[in-house]
């Protein structure tokens, strides 16, 4: 299971849907903000979920339109979804960006800076979009500051932006940048651990 299956099962739990319905709903709800599902991925995951008996499909024809497959969630699917929701609520240290920062020495410095600067601009734009959505949401909302998911996303992105800018600063600093020549060295640089531990003792 992965975040893609979580999205698919969650949408099918609401009501029965076809693959096309799911793709449309993902776009309408801007769920691709969290799970970037391509059309091929949606259909591949639906096939896998049906094979694993998490959903069951039935053929449906509406007038002269081509026949389509509509999916319902099974009891097994409900249980799988329940476990995935709980797991994703408390996910920790599973962010792929952590690995990117851990292996910074695997790419050229200029390329790293350029990539992070593009990402920085994207984060700023995303924050602006979320702020606009939060401001336009009718009040009251269940969460006093505004729509819960949008506020949470904005705050997460603000933290990410802080560390992206910090990483750019480290990469631009010739002294600190020289110490990024090993795994996870963005934490502490390439200091001598044997001597470091002796000093601590």
Edge-to-edge strand list for the sheet holding 68-73: 17-18, 68-73, 55-60
Using CA of residue 183, residue 168, residue 117, residue 90, what is the dihedral sign? positive
CATH 1.10.10.10 in the chain is located at 3-89
Beta bridge mates, 69:
59
Q: What is the mean pLDDT of residues 20-42?
A: 86
User: Could you give the CA distance from residue 145 to residue 13 in angstroms, rounded to a whole number?
Assistant: 29
In this structure, CATH architecture of domain 3-89: Orthogonal Bundle (1.10)
* pLDDT value of position 193: 47
Residue 17 phi/psi, 5° resolution? -145, 155
Residue 66 phi/psi, 5° resolution? -60, 150
* pLDDT value of position 196: 46
* pLDDT value of position 177: 86
**Three-state secondary structure readout of 60-108:** ECCCCCCCEEEEEECHHHHHHHHHHHHHHHCCCCCCHHHHHHHCHHHCC
Tell me the pLDDT tens digit for each residue of 128-174.
Answer: 999 999 999 999 999 999 999 999 999 999 999 999 999 999 999 98
Of the candidates 63, 80, 64, 71, the residue with the CA atom closest to the CA atom of residue 20: 71
Q: Do the Cβ atoms of 22 and 11 come closer than 8 Å?
A: yes
40, pLDDT greater than 70: yes
53, pLDDT greater than 80: yes
Tell me the pLDDT tens digit for each residue of 100-132.
Answer: 887 777 788 899 999 999 999 999 999 999 999
Q: What is the mean pLDDT of residues 56-74?
A: 91
């Amino acid at each position: 299971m992965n975040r893609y299956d979580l999205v698919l099962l969650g949408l099918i739990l609401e009501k029965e849907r076809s693959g096309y319905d799911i793709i449309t709903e993902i776009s309408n709800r801007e769920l691709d903000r969290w799970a970037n599902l391509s059309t091929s991925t949606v259909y591949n995951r639906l096939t896998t979920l049906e094979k694993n008996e998490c959903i069951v499909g039935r053929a449906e024809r509406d007038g002269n339109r081509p026949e389509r497959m509509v999916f319902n969630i099974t009891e097994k699917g409900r249980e799988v979804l329940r476990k995935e929701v709980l797991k994703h609520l408390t996910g920790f240290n599973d962010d792929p960006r952590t690995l990117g920062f851990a292996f910074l020495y695997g790419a050229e410095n200029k390329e790293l800076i350029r990539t992070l600067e593009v990402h920085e601009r994207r984060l700023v734009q995303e924050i602006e979009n979320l702020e606009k959505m939060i401001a336009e949401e009718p009040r009251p909302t269940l969460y006093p500051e505004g729509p819960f998911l949008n506020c949470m996303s904005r705050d997460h992105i603000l933290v990410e932006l802080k560390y992206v800018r910090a990483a750019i600063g480290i990469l631009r600093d010739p002294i600190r940048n020289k110490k990024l020549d090993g795994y996870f060295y963005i934490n502490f640089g390439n200091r001598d651990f044997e001597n470091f531990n002796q000093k601590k003792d």
